[in-house]
A and B are shown apart, each in its own frame.
Chain A
Amino acid sequence: EIVMTQSPATLSLSPGERATLSCRASQSVNANFAWYQQKLGQAPRLLIYGSSTRATGVPARFSGIGSGTEFTLTITSLQSEDFAVYYCQQYNTWPITFGQGTKLEIK
């Protein structure tokens, strides 16, 4: 099983700041990688797939980059609605696996 490790576990920032979230895979997943956002009491929402393609309706302040084992999600100029938990996912190899999540909280 491919283990996905996210860092940091918690990120405390202020609105308007830039957020950088990381995810590392225990072996290469090529670009078969996604990011999800989950707000309290809601289902996860797809943000990024194919490592760098924004899903429909996702604002341009969200961007993803990476391939192989290292991936990054950047959120420029944080808005109040961006404070949530973010999960990474690999779908390159069965079983599909998720990272443990990064909580983005207001500082």
Chain B
Amino acid sequence: LQLQESGPGLVKPSETLSVTCTVSGDSISNDNYYWDWIRQPPGKGLEWIGSIYYSGKTYYNPSLKSRVTISIDTSKNQFSLKLSSVTAADTGLYYCAGQYYDSWSGLFGWNDPWGQGTLVTVSS
């Protein structure tokens, strides 16, 4: 299972950031995974943005919820992140990752694997 992010690299302030993650080596409809977005500002730590299941069920970080939309396209084995009204504080590496999910118990788990990350810079 491998994940690969793709995105524009540069986004203007107040616009919408869009990045996509392509999953290979397994179906994105595998019921043992949620699919996550996690970001990392330059030189700083990790922040979980949100998760999506193949059914479309989502969970979002409350700190970003008003600006975040995560969607999934099972036909393309891809999921995507949109973050609106961006500012310089949204600059950083955006990672996609699989999150283990036990569909029997409904328990959520750890993130593995991770994509290599895509750098998004917010600047005019």
Using a CB–CB distance below 8 Å, which chain A residues touch chain B?
1, 32, 34, 36, 42-46, 49-50, 55, 87, 89, 91, 94-101
Contact = CB atoms under 8 A, between A and B. Distances in A.
B45 A89 contact: no
B15 interface: no
Q: In the complex, which of the residues A32, A45, A50, A91 has the most CB atoms of chain B within 10 Å of its own CB atom? A: A91
Interface in B74-124: 95, 99-100, 107-117
Q: Which 6 A-B pairs have the closest CB atoms?
A: A46-B112, A49-B110, A43-B114, A96-B48, A34-B110, A98-B46
Nearest to A49: B110
Given A44-B114, A87-B46, A1 B62 contact: yes
Contacts of A34: 110-111
B68 to A, nearest CB: 11
B102 to A, nearest CB: 11
A95 B112 contact: no
Chain B contact residues: over half helix, strand or loop, or mixed? strand
Given A98-B48, A100-B45, A55 B117 contact: no
Interface of B: 36, 45-48, 51, 59-63, 95, 99-100, 107-117
Contacts of A95: 48, 59-63
B45 A99 contact: yes
Contacts of B47: 98
A31 to B, nearest CB: 11
A55 B95 CA distance: 20
B48 A46 contact: no
A54 to B, nearest CB: 12
B92 to A, nearest CB: 13
